[in-house]
Amino acid sequence: MALAPSDILLTGRVAVVTGAGSGIGRGIATALSAFGASVAIWERDPDTCAAAAAAVGGLGLPTDVRDSQAVDAALKHTENELGTVSILVNNAGGTFNSPLLETSENGWDALYRSNLRHVLLCTQRVARRLVDAKLPGSVINVTSIEGVRAAPGYAAYSAAKAGVINYTKTASFELAPHGIRVNALAPDLTMTEGLQELAAGALDHQIGSGIPMRRAGHVEEMAGAAVFLASDMASYITGQTIHVDGGTEAAGGWYFHPRTGVPTLGPGRS
């Protein structure tokens, strides 16, 4: 099977990106559209949903993907407007600081619902349609570096993100006979609007000084990985978590000391 430049194109395919009102989700939606896909944005906030859809030239559907009935309604609307969904990006999520000894049951449940429950709901609904229609597809779950390392103060969030990684593996196995691929993307620090606000104008190399590549990631780099996984270029890749993290996961705690440049393993980065 010879490769062709057109294998990266997504022309004629319908993609859903959840939580795409801003940040990584919006960047992925923009890239999928640029490579030919018809894109539906499922975003809880009506204003950011409308703005993102207008910018992407796609369909914007205010949707709380934590709610199964809302997911069913959004999928039906998307199918009626655009056709069968063959690309799903489960990007919606959120977090807040919650130290282990202070985490409430409600806080735990909220982070589970925001970061893991919707991955089941959306994947299940889209996959059922594809299986019934005997069509292939690609599911891309956005997880986090925090799903594979200790994250003090964020135990519930990191547990949910670890769940996304294992769910990706299991779903990929169950759906492989149907030609539906399931993969995940795991970013580290990424220069989203929110991070830029928190960093008060700091540059990406200042924010990401502890990352082996010595800078934070860009939204477009996550988007590029998503386009690849959605395309026929990745037709034999499933069950994988790709770390778009500048080498953080591979480094296993090592970093280049910001003053000396010497490879260092330890808690201090000053």
* Domain range list for the chain: 14-201+214-252
CB 117 within 8 A of CB 141: no
What's the whole-number average pLDDT of the chain?
93
Closest by Cα among 21, 118, 87 to 60: 21
Phi, psi of 178 (to 5 degrees): -95, 5
- Residues annotated as catalytic (active site), given as ranges: 157
How far from 61 is each of 4, 7, 51, 220, 264, CA to CA, in Å? 34, 29, 11, 23, 47
Distance of CA 183 to the CA centre of its chain: 10
pLDDT in tens, 217-249: 999 999 999 999 999 999 999 999 999 999 999
Rounded Cα distance, 210 and 256, in Å: 7
Over range 144-154, report the average pLDDT.
Answer: 93
pLDDT band at 41 (very low <50, low <70, confident <90, very high): very high
Crossing angle of helices 23-34 and 46-56, rounded to 10°:
30
Strands 38-43 and 180-187: unpaired
Model pLDDT, residue 196: 72
Rounded Cα distance, 182 and 119, in Å: 11
Model pLDDT, residue 193: 78
Counting residues of the chain whose pLDDT is more than 70, the rounded percentage is: 94
CB 18 within 8 A of CB 42: yes
Topology classification of domain 14-201+214-252: Rossmann fold (3.40.50)
- Minimum mean pLDDT range among 88-92, 117-121, 159-163, 208-212: 208-212
**Who has greater pLDDT, 161 or 265?**
161
Model pLDDT, residue 180: 99
Rounded Cα distance, 158 and 98, in Å: 11
Please list the residues that pair with 88 across neighbouring strands.
16, 139
Tokens of 146: 């925090």
* Secondary-structure breakdown of the chain: helix, strand, coil percentages, each rounded to the nearest 5: 50, 20, 35
**If 0-12 CB within 10 Å is exposed, 13-18 middle and 19+ buried, where does residue 80 land?**
exposed
Asked whether the predicted pLDDT for residue 91 surpasses 90, the reply is yes
Closest by Cα among 143, 187, 189 to 168: 143
Closest by Cα among 161, 248, 242 to 207: 248
Tokens of 36: 């030919």
